[in-house]
Structure 1
Amino acid sequence: MRTTTHPRRRGRRTRSGTRPSGRLPAAVLLGAALVLAGCSADSGDSGADAAGGKAAAPGAEAGRQGAAGSAAARSGGAAGPGASKPAPSSVVRTASLTVRVKNMTEALDTARTAARDAGGFVGDENTRRDEDGSRHSEIVLRVPTEKYDEVLGELEGTGELLRRNSKAEDVTDQVVDVDSRVKSQRASVARVRKLMDRATELSDVVSLESELGNREADLEALLAQQASLKDRVGLATVTLTLSEKTAAARKTAAAEDDPGFLDALAGGWGVFLAVLRWIALVVGALLPFLVVFALGAVVWRRFLRPRLPRRPAPATSPAAPGTLPSAPPARDGKS
């Protein structure tokens, strides 16, 4: 009996031990099917919101990756190993000069030569002439930042400096921000292109092409802003205004400066009015004292003087009675 039972138990154990090996692939396949069904349901829902198909799912995935990449680039810029190194300062320099010159042509040639020798160039230039013959010119120079002070010194030496205004603007934060955004936007465009390479359905390709076009447009705008900042930082802007008076204009100004009869009359009238004004000021200053003195004189004559004792008049000796004054002796004409 014992010999007959053991083979049956062993056979059952063997069959029971081999059953899990057949069920394991089925469980894996079932789980994969559930995952695929869930992914297809998610992509179907998102596609129904965007374009009625599965085309929106790759676009949404690209959008999420782009946003994550942009956020990672911005946060990584502050926490990455390169954040410990301070960024070089970026300064935009501008200046405006107003100079009076004797020869406009020579001054313009000097300004152009100074810009070219410094490695820059001449931008806008505008020249006009007034009715009296004097000329005015405005020229814009772009010179390297390291030659900025040297060029300003040469321009000031072209004539008499009337006005100078210089300005320095620190744009380091803008440069760092734009560089970071360009880097993250390039990574985002690269991710969308990778998704396009893996896309198999037409709806996915159309959605990704639209997303790629938008991101490339944003990247081009950022690159233009980056180039503008680089140009403003690398090249300083100097606006030079030159003014020149010709010989005729100088003669006219000299003739206008010479005094004439009307000028003398106007000057004399001005002096006369000035004298009257000063006299009025003096009278106004003395008037209070004159009023006080006048009141004092009235009080003295009317009240104080009559009360003072009068001195007796000196007595005269009367003439003796019966005596007449003797007449002087008559003189003889012969004597």
Structure 2
Amino acid sequence: MTTPTLPALSAERVDAIESAVFGRIADERRAMRRRRRNVWTGIGAAAAVVVIAAVVGPSLTSTQSTGGSTVVGASGAESAPDFSGQFDQNSVGAVPEQDAAGSSSLPEQSATRDIGSRDIVATGSSTVEVDDVRAAIDEVTAAATAAGGYVESTQLGGGMVGIPIEGSATTATASSGWITVRVPADTLTQVMDGLRDVGDVTATSVNRSDVTDQTVDLRARVAAGEASVARLTELMGQAASVADLITAESALAERQAQLDSDRQVLQSIESQVALSTLSVQLTERTAPVTADPAGFGDGLVAGWNGLVATLNGVVIGVGFLLPWIVIAGVAWAIVWGVRRVVRRRRAAREG
């Protein structure tokens, strides 16, 4: 039996066969790399989903437990009174009444002040720990009244109580409160020292501001304004014509308005000098907490609860991300299908 012989191959045919073999090997290598890349991409995506679920899940759980609303603590809703010693000269505030002659009915202390004395606005603030906030407010109110002052405002818990009324009885309780009183300037230190009888004073401060320049300037302006008003009033009685009378009335009205404004500002400053402001923050005294060291069983229970909470968060996170994963998977499948069709067409044209 004779063995068939293969026809001789030309060099061009050999090169073509080698190119086809090497091309197929290269295609297989590219396909293998593509499969590996897809596997690692899937693993990375799964790991990213787990990580995101672990991060997003607890926040979603806490949001659901609070009904999707932001919870603000009581301390964030309360604002402390302003303890600054500054004042607004344009503020007319609560000032003493004037008599018919326009003089001030301020306390005798400011009216009999020596020329060489300084006008000082003093404001104090204290923080006191007490057993009963309501009873402490009553004690501070009594001390201010005994010193010749009055209560400007009070705050119990998160609501403004206002100036207390004698004979009124309330049963409201709170763990914190504020009270602001006005007392004569020379009794401010005495009243602040008396706070030690109310509770434990944990912080205290006094701010003094010198307003002598403002009061001297305002007194000079008031004196000049009074003289100008008196002169214009005299000129109105001597007016020889209607035009002169109208001019004098217009000037008098302007000077009188400026005089009233200066008097009101001066009285407001003198009121702040004569009556100092004291703001007291009252906090309920907390009982000391005794340490209770946890044992192995408590640690095991805590670890189990933490594991359950983490798994719950991961499940919630996966549920949250699942719609996005589906959409991303559909988009990736479309892109992969288009690329495969393009590769097949390209391979067909090359073949």
- Under TM normalisation by the shorter chain, which class is it? 0.3 to 0.5
Higher relative contact order (CA 8 A, sep 6+): 2
From the two aligned structures, give the one with the greater helix fraction: 1
TM-score by length of structure 2 reads 0.46
> Of the two, which has the highest radius of gyration?
1
